[in-house]
Structure 1
Amino acid sequence: MIKAKNIHKSYGELEVLKGVDLHIEKSEIVAIVGPSGAGKTTLLQILGTLDKPSSSKSLYINDTDIQVLNDKALSKFRNKHIGFIFQFHQLLPEFTAIENVCIPGFIANRQKKEVEIEAAEILNFLGLSDRIHHKPNELSGGEQQRVAVARALINKPDVIFADEPSGNLDTISSRNLHELFFTLRDQFQQTFVIVTHNQELADMADRKVEMKDGIII
């Protein structure tokens, strides 16, 4: 699913990633852990095509060579094959839950009715059927994050990248979100790559990858 070899990333003279190799299988849930400043989020952003490495030997996602894609092709690939979940849900406050979920589908030029039906189905699956017309400020933190999960799922991506997805949630909401990831993997066979400081979530993952000082140890 994901094959990254010799990934380097520097910002000026600061070398953040120092030659990272990582291979992730389809439907695997991988937790990336390590202290702050280890390079976890930088690696996640590069794997998720939100940032580019300073240098690398190769980066493939689902057998596609990411490094040969131009910006337009990369944006199209990202929209179709990749979903994102962030610590702060990044929902648009002026739109309802279902409208937020539909946005990636509309960007992909899918049929409006088809996207709306699928969005409602996903929100129902996530236990939010009675909240679909509520705006983010009318939802709890856990509900907002589930809407963000639904948005990440709407285009049926091959892989979902999550950056501290439960970092802003209380204990119960965090546990519910963690269990949801495994339910989704079993239901839809998606791959999850999760950066987290939450030890409980990391221990639940199929594999735990530890980073320190820009390398995997």
Structure 2
Amino acid sequence: MIHAKNIHKYYDQLQVLKGVDLHIEKGEIVSIVGASGAGKTTLLQILGTLDQPSLKSEQSRTKLTIENSITLQINGEDVLTMNDKALSKFRNLNLGFIFQFHQLLPEFSALENVCIPAFIANKSKQETEIEAKKLLDYLGLSHRINHKPNELSGGEQQRVAVARALINKPAIIFADEPSGNLDTASAENLHQLFFKLRDEFGQTFVIVTHNEELANMADRKLVMVDGLISN
């Protein structure tokens, strides 16, 4: 499902990722934990194709080429060989994203927010709205479909964001501190929802979190230390 080898990331002279190797199976829920600055979010963004690994580094004034040994395959596709247009299409159809801050568009209703990724994929309005209503009903929000984000609680907003992430039936969901902005009860409900979705729809989840309860519930917990996954 996800095969990553020798993933590096530099920001100028700062090396954030130092050759990460990672393999995640279909249907796994994997948590990534570690101290702030360990490289968790950077790794998640690269795995989710929102950022690119560094192909070259500068160290001691000497260029070190590492690009020949870098690989990143997601759902059987070598994403590092794709051009921007192909990568955007692949991302929209195969990957879903849930962030700490829901990033819903304030001018649109819950239903409209959920539909956006499907509209980007040129799916029909009628079929998309039917699917979006099913998802919102599944998530307990059928009575809130016409409400805008500022009319929803934090937990409701995050469930709308989950529905949006699911609308194109992605193979993988990437979540970055998904419960970090929620109260305890809403966070627990969201955590249980991830496992329910995996069991019912077979999605793979990769979750960066500081929440120990969520991290320990995962099938595997990966600990990042100083730019590497600690064994």
For residues 173 and 212 of structure 1, the distance between their equivalents in structure 2, rounded to whole angstroms, comes to 29
| Cα displacement string for residues 33-62 of structure 1 (whole angstroms, at most 9, x for unaligned residues) | 000000000000000000000035200001
Match of 1:148 in 2: 161
Matched length: 217
For residues 189 and 91 of structure 1, the distance between their equivalents in structure 2, rounded to whole angstroms, comes to 25
In the alignment, structure 1 residue 112 sits paired with structure 2 residue 130: no
Which residues of structure 2 form unaligned runs of 5+?
Answer: 56-66
In the alignment, structure 1 residue 46 sits paired with structure 2 residue 46: yes
Output the amino acid matched with 2:54: S
Q: CA deviation at 1:76?
A: 0.2
Q: CA deviation at 1:106?
A: 0.1
Two-structure CA RMSD over aligned residues (Å): 0.5
3-state SS in 2 of match to 1:192: strand
Output the amino acid matched with 2:36: S
Q: Max radius of gyration: which structure? A: 2
Which residues of structure 1 form unaligned runs of 5+?
Answer: none
Output the amino acid matched with 1:39: G
Q: CA deviation at 1:126?
A: 0.2
3-state SS in 2 of match to 1:166: coil
What does 1:116-135 align with in structure 2 at a 5 Å threshold?
116-135=129-148
| Cα displacement string for residues 88-135 of structure 1 (whole angstroms, at most 9, x for unaligned residues) | 000000000000000000000001100000000000000000000000
Match of 1:27 in 2: 27
| Cα displacement string for residues 136-160 of structure 1 (whole angstroms, at most 9, x for unaligned residues) | 0000000000000000000000000
Aligned mate of 1:177, from 181, 186, 190:
190
Match of 1:189 in 2: 202
What does 1:81-92 align with in structure 2 at a 5 Å threshold?
81-92=94-105
Match of 1:97 in 2: 110
For residues 198 and 53 of structure 2, the distance between their equivalents in structure 1, rounded to whole angstroms, comes to 28
Output the amino acid matched with 1:156: K
For residues 147 and 189 of structure 2, the distance between their equivalents in structure 1, rounded to whole angstroms, comes to 21
For residues 90 and 135 of structure 2, the distance between their equivalents in structure 1, rounded to whole angstroms, comes to 22
For residues 145 and 187 of structure 1, the distance between their equivalents in structure 2, rounded to whole angstroms, comes to 20
Match of 1:200 in 2: 213
For residues 131 and 114 of structure 2, the distance between their equivalents in structure 1, rounded to whole angstroms, comes to 9
Segments ≥4 residues shifted beyond 2 Å: none
Output the amino acid matched with 1:75: S
For residues 203 and 8 of structure 1, the distance between their equivalents in structure 2, rounded to whole angstroms, comes to 27
For residues 174 and 216 of structure 1, the distance between their equivalents in structure 2, rounded to whole angstroms, comes to 26
Q: CA deviation at 1:171?
A: 0.2
Deviates more, 1:71-80 or 1:50-59: 50-59
TM-score by length of 1: 0.99
In the alignment, structure 1 residue 76 sits paired with structure 2 residue 89: yes
Match of 1:7 in 2: 7
For residues 76 and 139 of structure 2, the distance between their equivalents in structure 1, rounded to whole angstroms, comes to 30
Output the amino acid matched with 1:143: E
3-state SS in 1 of match to 2:144: coil
Output the amino acid matched with 2:90: F
3-state SS in 2 of match to 1:38: coil
Output the amino acid matched with 2:176: D
For residues 115 and 32 of structure 1, the distance between their equivalents in structure 2, rounded to whole angstroms, comes to 32
Match of 2:58 in 1: none
